């Protein structure tokens, strides 16, 4: 009954071409009408995903090839969204690992591959972007094999099938001498190497919730794989909660996947991936089971968070002017609601009613949550990210990261020096071609906080850095991080051109003339290590005396664009980022101007 189904996940490092490859599979499967306008990266439906060009949420689609239904799950490539990868790998029986033909395996390749191997999956390796200059497809295969062995893959997993592909051109080939026509070799490889889903349709029903969705018409929709039994539309079933409680409910709608559409179906047997409506209180990891014999499946295990921030109610002088949701109750409700779908997140009440400790996988993981909240109309403030320590055998341990830098050769020395100050240890260095070098490091997660902006300066914007969680290791001594002092507004008012121009020799500014400021707001970075208070609202005294240089065109230096990600990396322990739907501001804690 399940032989005509294949469930497969697409996994890869960020920007190695997962979503583009899925686009090609969708187009060639015939799910789009002839002449229908199809956007690129069709699976990246979230606004933030399209803006940033990354996959944040895992999403599933289904295509038919010959007589087989292939359920395809597109997963995020960034380790900060590893919770998305971990919870969906339980739905599949195989995976396609995509590797860039030029870069080879990268930090997130290691992360997602380790998760797949732990699940016992045997990946199909696709070396993508073979049409790029400097591509080394066979070199990438050798590096992938080394990574398999390093991660402890068994003999069967190490004997992986591989293909070469160009997602952009929509073709896959088994040998580089072959002519690329279409994606048929990948379809055939999936049928040949991904086993049919295990499961017994004669056993009592078991369906594990792995994704949550919402419809204005149907309410909460749960998505998961039927592990055993058969589920019918309209039948009475039981939801086994993570607490062990059993709640009876009715399947009000049963939906299957066909291309990008959900189609209403009457029943689904073991091995199928379906969407089910009728469970308003279902959460990820819980089991929909037979009403007369409720048997839960093991809860989904997700790695613990490594980074924590404090979210609090905005108490700055401009509080409440730009946001719709500003109270502690609204902030608390939104954060705890996020826990229903974001399995890698942790939220706890703080030491006061207006503070909440929010822990996640990394700065990007928390930054995406913050960006989503501000777009929804929330106004709040956050503290400097702090790593989460553990105690092992009475000794403090801290998270370490595996870091890979791709930099111009003239920036190598500066990067090694700065990472050495941050307790980074270089593991490997090799020429990447084109006057560039690849550097591999292990480094405490603390050492990476605030490093990205420094890295961009060191490489003049030409460097590429990527990292993923490695493991917990004994805590190292204090980490040296460099940052100059800040320029702080001395009074409330509107910044003027005259004041900013006169203070240009003090440092670089984050604001422009006309920006409203308040006392304690950070308006720039000092050239020196100390903090400095400035009057940026000072106006020029007008007289009837004509200046000899009055008609000259005077320009300000370009201000530093302090966007959300940069602000989170930039602030120190005595500073906050104030976030509203309109603005991102930096300020000193509690209006107190810290003296360094």
Q: Give all strands (DSSP E) within 475-593, no chain letters.
A: 486-489, 493-494, 507-509, 516-517, 521-526, 532-534, 575-579, 584-588
Do the annotations mark residue 20 as ligand-binding? yes
Do the annotations mark residue 327 as ligand-binding? no
Do the annotations mark residue 19 as ligand-binding? yes
For residue 107, count other CB atoms closer than 10 A to its CB: 21
Do the annotations mark residue 18 as ligand-binding? yes
Do the annotations mark residue 17 as ligand-binding? yes
Rg (CA), the chain: 27
565 vs 152: CA distance, rounded Å? 35
Contact of 279 with 241, CB cutoff 8 Å? no
Burial class (CB in 10 A: 0-12, 13-18, 19+), 123: buried
Do the annotations mark residue 224 as ligand-binding? no
334 vs 322: CA distance, rounded Å? 18
What is the CB-side half-sphere exposure of residue 484 using CA atoms within 13 A?
A: 15
534 vs 521: CA distance, rounded Å? 10
Using N-to-C axis directions, what is the helix angle for 137-150 and 107-118, rounded to 10°? 50
C-alpha distances (whole Å) from 443 to each of 78, 455, 467, 481 are 18, 15, 10, 13
C-alpha distances (whole Å) from 29 to each of 25, 38, 195, 265, 482 are 6, 13, 20, 21, 53
152 vs 236: CA distance, rounded Å? 44
Do the annotations mark residue 129 as ligand-binding? yes
Q: For residue 358, which of 377, 390, 335, 330 has the smallest C-alpha distance?
A: 335
SS3 186: helix
Do the annotations mark residue 543 as ligand-binding? no
Tokens 């997660």: give the residue: 445
10 vs 70: CA distance, rounded Å? 12
Contact of 61 with 26, CB cutoff 8 Å? yes
232 vs 234: CA distance, rounded Å? 6
Contact of 79 with 88, CB cutoff 8 Å? no
Question: Which residues make up each annotated binding site for GTP?
Answer: 15-20, 128-131
Question: Which residues make up each annotated binding site?
Answer: 15-20, 128-131
């Amino acid at each position: 009954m399940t032989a005509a189904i294949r469930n497969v996940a697409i996994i890869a490092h960020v920007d190695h071409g997962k979503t583009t490859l899925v686009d090609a599979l969708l187009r060639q499967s015939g799910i789009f009408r002839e002449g229908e306008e199809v956007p690129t990266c069709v699976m990246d439906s979230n606004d933030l995903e399209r803006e940033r060009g990354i996959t944040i949420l895992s999403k599933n689609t289904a295509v038919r090839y010959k007589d087989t239904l292939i359920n395809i799950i597109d997963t995020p490539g960034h380790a900060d969204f590893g919770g998305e990868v971990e919870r969906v790998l339980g739905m599949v029986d195989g995976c396609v690992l995509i590797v860039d033909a030029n870069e080879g395996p990268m930090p997130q390749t290691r992360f997602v591959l380790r998760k797949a191997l732990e699940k016992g999956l045997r990946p199909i390796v696709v070396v993508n972007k073979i049409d790029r200059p400097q591509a080394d497809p066979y070199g990438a295969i050798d590096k992938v094999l080394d990574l398999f062995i390093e991660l402890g893959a068994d003999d069967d997993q190490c004997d992986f099938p591989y293909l070469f592909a160009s997602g952009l051109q929509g073709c896959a080939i088994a040998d580089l001498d072959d002519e690329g026509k279409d994606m048929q070799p990948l379809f055939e490889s999936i049928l040949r190497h991904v086993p049919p889903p295990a499961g017994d349709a004669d056993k009592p029903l078991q369906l594990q919730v792995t994704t949550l969705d919402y419809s204005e018409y149907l309410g909460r929709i749960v998505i998961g794989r039927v592990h055993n039994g058969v589920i019918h539309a309209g039948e009475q079933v039981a939801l086994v909660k993570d607490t062990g409680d059993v709640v009876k409910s009715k399947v009000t709608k049963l939906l299957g996947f066909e291309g990008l559409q959900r189609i209403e179906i009457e029943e689904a047997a073991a091995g199928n991936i379906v969407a089910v409506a009728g469970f308003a209180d279902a959460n990820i990891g819980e089991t929909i089971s037979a009403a007369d014999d409720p048997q839960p499946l093991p809860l989904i295990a997700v790695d613990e968070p490594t980074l924590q921030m404090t979210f609090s109610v905005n108490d700055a002088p401009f509080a409440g002017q730009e946001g719709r949701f500003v109270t502690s109750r609204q902030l608390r409700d939104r954060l705890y609601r996020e826990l229903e779908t974001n399995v890698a997140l942790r939220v706890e009440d703080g030491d006061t009613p207006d503070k909440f400790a929010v822990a996640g996988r990394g700065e990007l993981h928390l930054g995406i949550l913050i960006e989503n909240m501000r777009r929804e109309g929330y106004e709040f403030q956050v503290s400097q990210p702090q790593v989460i320590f553990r105690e092992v055998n009475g000794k403090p341990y801290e998270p370490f990261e595996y870091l890979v830098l791709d930099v111009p050769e003239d920036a190598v020395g500066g990067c090694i020096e700065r990472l050495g100050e941050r307790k980074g240890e270089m593991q490997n260095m090799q020429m990447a071609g084109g006057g560039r070098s690849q550097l591999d490091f292990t480094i405490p997660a603390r050492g990476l906080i605030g490093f990205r902006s420094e890295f961009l300066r060191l490489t003049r914007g030409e460097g590429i850095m990527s990292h993923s969680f490695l493991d917990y290791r004994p805590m190292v001594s204090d980490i040296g991080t460099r940052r100059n002092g800040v320029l702080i507004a001395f009074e409330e008012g509107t910044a003027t051109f005259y004041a900013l121009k006169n203070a240009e020799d003090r440092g670089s500014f984050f604001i422009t003339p006309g920006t409203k400021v308040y006392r304690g707001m950070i308006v720039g970075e000092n050239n020196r290590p100390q903090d400095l208070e400035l009057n940026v609202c000072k106006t020029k005294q007008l007289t009837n005396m004509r200046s000899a240089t009055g008609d000259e065109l005077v320009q300000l230096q370009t201000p530093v664009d302090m966007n959300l990600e940069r602000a989170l990396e930039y602030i120190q322990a005595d500073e906050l980022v104030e976030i509203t739907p309109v603005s991102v501001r930096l300020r000193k804690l509690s209006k107190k101007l810290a003296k360094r």
